[in-house]
Amino acid sequence: MSFVEISNVDLIYGGIAGTKTDERALALSALDLRLEKGAFVAVVGPSGCGKSTLLKLIAGLINPSRGLVRINGQRVQKPVSGVGMAFQSATLLPWRNIRDNVLLPLEIVEPYRSQSKAQRKESYTRADALLESVGLGRYGDHMPWQLSGGMQQRAQICRALIHDPSILLLDEPFGALDTFTREELWGVMQALWLHKRCTVVLVTHELREAVYLSDTVHVMSARPGRVVASRTIELPRPRSLETTFESAFVRYVHDCRHHISLGNAS
């Protein structure tokens, strides 16, 4: 049994049950996906194909209209506690310094919430260690507006990992950054994953990013979304920017682009 199982899932947005199909929006259709524990998986596909919807299903933020989502054998029917999430916008709270932003999940997620006051010192040490690991060791007392976009994204990733989630969901976390900052954060994300080894699902439009970071790339079709191809990335780790110029890397990128084109046409 895989750690995350998505079985024959349809998802319909809007409308009322029993109305005509064309009055509702079919976002996902007969979606099947299996994710192994500790894997780094990327999901790519055209805009509007349901990539972000897939993350919401895994997190338990929405329920499928048909089919099942299971994590570790348990059916997902409500928000999953062991999940960390990071988005394209860093969404840091402007009135809290960087350290306190990172600590936010420990004030919300059980069992950390009930222990937050008693373990405040340990939590500070934990946050500072995470910030140090992404090059923000000197910025815990700074406010979000004092950091660049790339630094804010590093802080957001630390916040997503502070409670040691079993699953990390990344929804275009580097999409708003310039190319140089984005590529730098690929290395940061890879290093964090190699250390933490949690299960990661990355949604991205950047095919080089998908191939660089993941063990497997899943390609989704145009809406209604379904997986039309899955490619295992057999490149040694740790990967570097030099890896992106190697012929094998380029072939993977072109292969993914080819299947996106086919998925758009289907």
The residue ranges of every structural domain in the chain are 36-62+77-265
Residue at token pair 């329920």:
63
| Fold assignment, 36-62+77-265 | Rossmann fold (3.40.50)
Q: With bands split at pLDDT 50, 70 and 90, how would you rate the model's confidence at 82?
A: confident
- Report helix angle 120-133 to 179-196, nearest 10: 130
> Is 72 in contact with 24 (CB distance < 8 Å)?
no
Take residue 181 and report the two structure tokens written for it: 């900052």
**Per-residue pLDDT for 111 more than 80?**
no
**Mean pLDDT of the 167-175 span:** 95
pLDDT, the chain, mean: 91
pLDDT in tens, 229-255: 999 999 999 999 999 999 999 999 999
Strand order in the sheet with 83-87: 83-87, 167-171, 199-203, 40-44, 216-220, 227-232
Return the bridge partners of 83, or none. 167
Give the tokens for residue 47.
């805009």
Q: How confident is the model at residue 19 (pLDDT cuts 50, 70, 90)?
A: low
8 Å CB contact between 211 and 254: no
Give the model's pLDDT for residue 265. Answer: 63
What are the backbone angles phi and psi of residue 81, rounded to the nearest 5°? -75, -30
* Distance separating the N- and C-terminal Cα atoms of the chain: 31
| Residue 182 · residue 214 · CB < 8 Å | no
Q: Does the pLDDT at position 110 exceed 90?
A: no
CA distances from 174 to 53, 64, 136, 188, 232 (A): 18, 28, 17, 12, 22
CB-CB contact of 61 with 79 (8 Å) = yes
Which residue is listed with tokens 């340990």? 122
Q: Are 128 and 137 in contact (CB under 8 A)?
A: yes
Residue pLDDT, tens place only, 200-225: 999 999 999 999 999 999 999 999 99
pLDDT tops 50 at residue 17:
no
* 85 membership: H or E segment, kind and range: strand 83-87
Task: Check if the beta carbon of residue 232 is closer than 8 Å to that of residue 206.
Answer: no
> Tokens 């950054």 sit at which residue?
177
Give the SS3 label for residue 167: strand
- Residue 263 pLDDT exceeds 90: no
Task: Determine contact, residues 31/51, Cβ cutoff 8 Å.
Answer: no
Q: What percent of the chain clears pLDDT 70, i.e. is strictly above it?
A: 92
For 32-55, write each residue's pLDDT tens digit.
999 999 999 999 999 889 999 999
If pLDDT is split at 50, 70 and 90, which confidence band does 264 have? confident
Encoded tokens for 157: 């990733």
Cα 259–Cα 264–Cα 266 angle in degrees, nearest 5:
95
Whether residue 90 has pLDDT greater than 60:
yes
Is pTM, for the whole model, over 0.75? yes
Look at residues 84, 131, 142 and name the one whose alpha carbon lies nearest to residue 109.
Answer: 84
